[in-house]
């Protein structure tokens, strides 16, 4: 059975295709054969399989393109949104830009990026079901390695497939990770970070399913909400090269139990470890200058904390509603304690160092409630800081 090499239909004539008019003789091995006196021998001996496969592939690509356009919103050469449910989404050649959240509502498992794309906005390829990405090898701006999209030079991780499971080793040439490109990977259980990574950006790992993660010493800052709601993360060590921990960086990590912050860390943002209900062990370095407001609020399993000498002010609500907090050590050097900083009725006493100049009236309990008795404050001789005496017992030292 013979088929037209251009349109793929079954041939009736041996010279011309009745469907598209293609001159079949131009495709024959050596054209017409003089030895046989005509056309048929060359026609019968010619292998059409490669041409037929090429024609079939062209038809499939045409169907894929038509299906994509049917489910896409495109403005000129910019892909604004794709809502299709095809298992494999093939972005047509000619598209130059992919807008933010373009695939957010799609139901696809893989996405192919063409050679013509020059810009991918933040989470432009995000799709909760995506397991892999493929970038055309001729693209000058992006490439794919093992299903992950990187900049062409490999220094920037652009988008990780959110439906991917298991453990992933990030290539060591990676220096930065595009904001939110990994966040929400609820099936990814572990990740080895590049030793060239210098910053954990805002929302980078928010909502991931990591159970273990080692922050390399190359990292100098942790952005806001970077690890928020990482509910499988049980322990974390923050290396000394990190100078700042952003707001909400580890908030609502439901299974976080141990935190070690190494010497060198200077600043901890507001709500940094807010509502980590199982957090029971915290080590703070003497290099720490700032503990943000509400940083450990509602850490209900935390029983003991030492405020290092470098912290000038314990901010509002920093350790409020830590229902197990019964032992607080405030080192010499701390100067101010703000409202509700240690407002926990499990705390029965505290020693105020000489360096403290001001204490908010609500910084400590006014009485022990169900525990009975008055809250004991060991204070430098003669100082009362203007605090209410009701429910408190001041003991000079």
Q: pLDDT tens, 268-306?
A: 999 999 999 999 999 999 999 999 999 999 999 999 999
**Residue 207 to residue 188: CA distance in whole angstroms:** 10
pLDDT band at 168 (very low <50, low <70, confident <90, very high): very high
Residues in Cβ contact with 18 at an 8 Å cutoff, skipping those fewer than 6 apart: 9, 11, 12
pLDDT band at 128 (very low <50, low <70, confident <90, very high): confident
Mean pLDDT of 367-381: 74
Mean pLDDT of the chain: 87
**Residue 326 to residue 344: CA distance in whole angstroms:** 8
Please state, for a pLDDT cut of 90, what percent of the chain lies above it. Answer: 66
pLDDT band at 61 (very low <50, low <70, confident <90, very high): low
pLDDT top residue among 312 and 212 = 312
**Residue 232 to residue 209: CA distance in whole angstroms:** 6
pLDDT score for 121: 94
CB 154 within 8 A of CB 176: no
Pairing mode of beta strands 88-90, 97-98: unpaired
pLDDT score for 21: 76
Asked if the model's pLDDT at residue 329 lies above 70, the reply is: yes
Tell the residue number behind the tokens 């696809």, with chain if given. 108
pLDDT score for 369: 52
pLDDT score for 373: 57
pLDDT band at 65 (very low <50, low <70, confident <90, very high): low
β-partners of residue 110 are: 88, 132
| pTM of the full structure | 0.78
pLDDT score for 68: 82
CB 28 within 8 A of CB 46: yes
**Residue 368 to residue 325: CA distance in whole angstroms:** 13
Mean pLDDT of 371-393: 85
Residues in Cβ contact with 118 at an 8 Å cutoff, skipping those fewer than 6 apart: 96, 97, 140, 141
Phi, psi torsion values for 240, nearest 5 degrees = -70, -20
**Residue 161 to residue 127: CA distance in whole angstroms:** 7
pLDDT score for 349: 93
Asked if the model's pLDDT at residue 1 lies above 50, the reply is: no
């Amino acid at each position: 059975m013979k088929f037209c090499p251009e349109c793929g239909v079954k041939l009736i004539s041996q010279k011309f295709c009745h469907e598209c008019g293609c001159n079949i003789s131009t495709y024959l091995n050596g054209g017409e054969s003089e030895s046989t006196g005509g056309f048929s021998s060359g026609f019968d001996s010619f292998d059409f399989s490669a041409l037929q496969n090429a024609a079939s592939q062209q038809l499939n690509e045409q169907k894929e393109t038509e299906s994509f356009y049917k489910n896409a919103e495109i403005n000129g050469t910019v892909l604004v949104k794709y809502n299709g449910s095809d298992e494999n989404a093939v972005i047509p050649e000619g598209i130059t830009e992919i807008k933010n959240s373009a695939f957010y509502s799609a139901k696809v498992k893989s996405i192919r990026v063409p050679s013509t794309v020059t810009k991918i906005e933040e989470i432009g390829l995000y799709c909760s079901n995506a397991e892999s990405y493929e970038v055309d090898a001729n693209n000058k701006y992006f490439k794919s390695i093992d299903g992950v999209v990187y900049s062409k030079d490999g220094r920037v991780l652009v988008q990780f497939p959110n439906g991917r499971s298991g453990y992933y080793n990030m290539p060591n040439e990676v220096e930065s990770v595009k904001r939110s490109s990994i966040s929400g990977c609820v099936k990814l259980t572990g990740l080895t970070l590049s030793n060239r990574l210098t910053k954990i950006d805002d929302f980078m790992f928010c909502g991931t399913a990591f159970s273990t993660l080692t922050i390399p010493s190359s990292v100098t800052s942790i952005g806001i909400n970077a690890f928020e709601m990482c509910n499988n993360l049980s322990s974390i060590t923050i290396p000394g090269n990190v100078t700042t921990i952003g707001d909400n960086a580890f908030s609502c990590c439901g299974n976080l139990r141990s935190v070690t912050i190494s010497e060198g860390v200077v600043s901890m943002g507001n709500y940094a470890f807010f509502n980590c209900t199982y957090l029971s062990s915290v080590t703070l370095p003497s290099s720490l200058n700032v503990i943000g407001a509400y940083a450990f609020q509602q850490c209900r399993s935390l029983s003991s904390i030492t405020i290092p000498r470098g912290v000038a002010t314990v901010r509002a609500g920093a350790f409020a509603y830590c229902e197990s907090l019964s032992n607080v050590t405030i080192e010499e050097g701390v100067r101010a304690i703000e409202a509700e900083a240690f407002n926990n009725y499990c705390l029965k006493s505290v020693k105020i160092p000489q360096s403290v100049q001001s204490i908010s009236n609500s910084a400590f309990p006014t009485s022990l409630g169900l525990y009975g008795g008055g809250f004991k404050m060991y204070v430098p001789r003669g100082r009362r800081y203007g605090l209410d005496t009701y429910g408190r017992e001041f003991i000079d030292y």
